[in-house]
Amino acid sequence: MNIQPSTFSLGGLTLHRIDFDPASFTDADILWLPHHAKLQPAGNKRKAEHLAGRLAAFHALQLHNLRHIPDIGDSRQPLWPQDVYGSISHSGTTALAVVAKHPVGVDLESIFTPEMANEVVGSVVTPDERRVLEARGLPFELALTLAFSAKESLYKAYSFAASELPGFNGAQVIALNAGRITLRLAEAFSPALAGKMCQVHWRQDDRQVITLLSKTLQSA
């Protein structure tokens, strides 16, 4: 599969990016993965995305002097080496990965179309959250995608501590600023973490957004 690796910084961490050409993928490419047999039932699109994500993760782990390819867990989550945390995301023909010594979550999303935004807004944010998003003055489709993505990043970072399928009401957007989104966790996410706050960094990349939870949770 044809790939183009690169790196960039966000939230004080280095993210590894793999841009890939799904049309160039062949089944032989996944033989590089130790867990390739688990992917045999998947279609080529899924295999190409998975391979790109694991390539990004492999490069990210090398920053920590680890040569490791994350396996697939029982809940389809990446299995990271002991004493490190990581996160993988992919959208379109791009995959991202990040690794840290503390919980971390990255998410990559295509910006919602106006039709998609109207369809999902009620399930992603409350009326109070919508007012916060609209007050920033960004195009609403962009702001809503950022809220969606930030909550995804939060779940990826702290899924190990979350209630089963907490949903988007597990965290509330309380501020949206240039480059940052502030979330407050609710009991729906985890009774033990209710009231905790987190800062999620964000950037726009053409018609996509990237969000990254790179810091530990803080008390309100």
The answer to the question of residue 218 being in a domain is no
Q: What is the pLDDT of residues 114-150, one digit of tens each?
A: 999 999 999 999 999 999 999 999 999 999 999 999 9
CB neighbour list of residue 180: distance below 8 Å, 6 or more residues apart:
199, 200, 201, 202
Strand partners, 62: none
The string of pLDDT tens digits covering residues 166-199 is: 889 999 999 999 999 999 999 999 999 999 999 9
Q: What is the pLDDT of residue 118?
A: 97
Query: Would the pLDDT of 165 be above 90?
Result: no
Q: With respect to residue 22, please indicate whether it lies within any of the assigned structural domains.
A: yes
- Given 82, 101, 120, the domain boundary residue is 101
216 has a pLDDT exceeding 90: no
The domain containing residue 58 runs over which residues?
A: 3-101
Confidence of residue 61 (pLDDT cuts 50, 70, 90): very high
220 found inside a domain: no
Q: Is the pLDDT of residue 163 over 90?
A: no
Q: Across all residues in the chain, what is the average pLDDT?
A: 96
- Do 94 and 114 reside in the same domain of the chain? no
Q: In this predicted structure, what is the pLDDT of residue 219?
A: 86
Residue 68: pLDDT band with limits 50, 70, 90: very high
**Do 13 and 77 share a domain, yes or no?**
yes
Phi (first) and psi of residue 46, to 5 degrees: -65, -40
Domain boundary among 101, 135, 159: 101
Tokens of 111: 């910006």
- 206 burial (CB, 10 Å; 0-12 / 13-18 / 19+) is exposed
| Same domain, residue pair 77 and 120 | no
Do residues 114 and 206 both lie within one domain? yes
Domain presence at residue 186: yes
CB 99 within 8 Å of CB 61: yes
The pLDDT of residue 133: 97
CA angle, 148 then 64 then 60, to 5°: 40
CATH of the domain at 7: 3.90.470
Model pLDDT, residue 59? 97
pTM score of the predicted model: 0.95
Residue 28 binned pLDDT confidence (cut-offs 50, 70, 90)? very high
Q: What is the mean pLDDT of the segment spanning 65-85? A: 94
pLDDT at 75: 84
Which phi and psi (to 5°) does residue 88 adopt? -130, 145
Domain identity same for 94 and 183:
no
Whichever domain contains 157, its CATH number is 3.90.470.20
Does a structural domain hold residue 92?
Answer: yes
Domain count, the chain: 2
Is residue 220 pLDDT above 80, yes or no? no
pLDDT for residue 164: 79
Residue 47 belongs to a domain: yes
Do 131 and 44 sit in the same domain of this protein?
Answer: no
Percent of the chain with pLDDT over 70: 100
Residues 146 and 199 in one domain: yes
Q: Assess whether 96 and 115 both reside in one domain.
A: no
Distance CA 142, CA 84 (A): 32
Q: Give a yes or no: residue 43 inside a domain.
A: yes
Q: Which pLDDT band, with edges at 50, 70 and 90, does 76 fall under?
A: confident
* 53, 54, 58, 63 alpha-carbon torsion, rounded to 10°: 30
**154 and 201 housed in the same domain:** yes
Domain termination residue (choose one: 42, 71, 101):
101
- Asked if residue 209 and residue 111 are part of one domain, the reply reads yes
Structural domain includes residue 185: yes
pLDDT of residue 67: 94
